[in-house]
Amino acid sequence: MEINRNAFLASQGGASSVDQMSPEAKADAMEDFMMQQLNTRQASQGRLPVVSDIEAQIETRSYRRGAGNLFVAAEGNVRRLPPMPSKPTLVDFFRLRFSVTSNHVLQSAHLAVKNNVPEEIVLACLLHDVAQELIKVDHGWWSAQLFEPYVPEQTAFAIRYHQALRFYEDEAHGYEYPVLYRYLFGEDYRPEPYIEATYKMVRNHKWYLGPRLVTVNDLYAFDPDVNPNLDEFADIIGRHFKQPKEGLGYDNSPVAHMWRSIARPDMPL
């Protein structure tokens, strides 16, 4: 698809905003922009994509849609990654590996703080999508598993189940079905039975509000004017994230290999 450069820059708040973005964030913004253009074209034809349109795209790609951001370049080749310290912390992963998802989760956590969300759930907002660097399919479950040994139980619960809840409206808490999903999944998409069953379980759970607040504070649009910094959350991380002294990936926890896979995605086997 042809890109109108000026329209792209304007959509991101001008050339100087784009200059400040990391290459990954730029590629991501470009992909969003292309999707919007495609959507506008489809809308001008009078329709949203349906599930069969989305399925027809599968064989037009050299990668699967569920592959993690670290494993696929949105444009051109992947880049060489900066080395990790020998005992990496959560902050190191944010700085050196979560480059595509970090802005989105920082914006979501920033909004959650503004909305007076409890700290454990602000932490869930801050971490809810970062496993998408590893894998996008079932990212709520993967993210929760990645963090479970290091965060409060309610935080892991909120991360895991935001994925199912985002398909279901909750007017009382101000959550509407995201318009973006009509484009991503197709207008006639219905969540699979395991998602429906999970939603029903969580809806009646005493911790329902946690994952619901993650969806309420989830931002579906990249806001070029809001650039929260990880420093804003240093205290919350310090109070609620149990950083292993050996470094993430080297503490022999059941999820250590997941951290190593994020740290070293170029290993052949």
Residue nearer to Fe ion on the CB measure, 84 or 216? 216
3-state SS class at 189 = coil
Residue nearer to Fe ion on the CB measure, 216 or 237? 216
Angle 127-116-21 from CA coordinates, rounded to 5°: 45
Q: Distance between CA 169 and CA 74 in Å, rounded?
A: 31
As measured in angstroms, the least distance from the Cβ of 85 to Fe ion is 27
As measured in angstroms, the least distance from the Cβ of 140 to Fe ion is 6
Stretch touching Fe ion by CB under 5 A, among 43-51, 89-97, 122-130, 233-241: 122-130
Q: Distance between CA 253 and CA 248 in Å, rounded?
A: 9
133 touches Fe ion by CB under 5 A: no
Among 129, 130, 150, 151, binds Fe ion (CB under 5 A): 129
As measured in angstroms, the least distance from the Cβ of 80 to Fe ion is 28
All residues at 6 or more sequence positions from 85 whose CB lies less than 8 Å from its CB, including other chains: 92, 247
- Could you tell me if 142 and 134 are in contact, meaning their C-beta atoms sit under 8 angstroms apart? yes
24 touches Fe ion by CB under 5 A: no
Using CB under 5 A as the criterion, what x/- string covers residues 217-236 for binding Fe ion? -x------------------
Using CB under 5 A as the criterion, what x/- string covers residues 177-216 for binding Fe ion? ----------------------------------------
Comparing CA positions, the residue from 92, 114, 112, 116 lying closest to residue 104 is 112
**Quick one: CA torsion of 10, 226, 70, 141, rounded to 10 degrees?**
-130
Which residues are near Fe ion by CB under 5 A? 129, 218
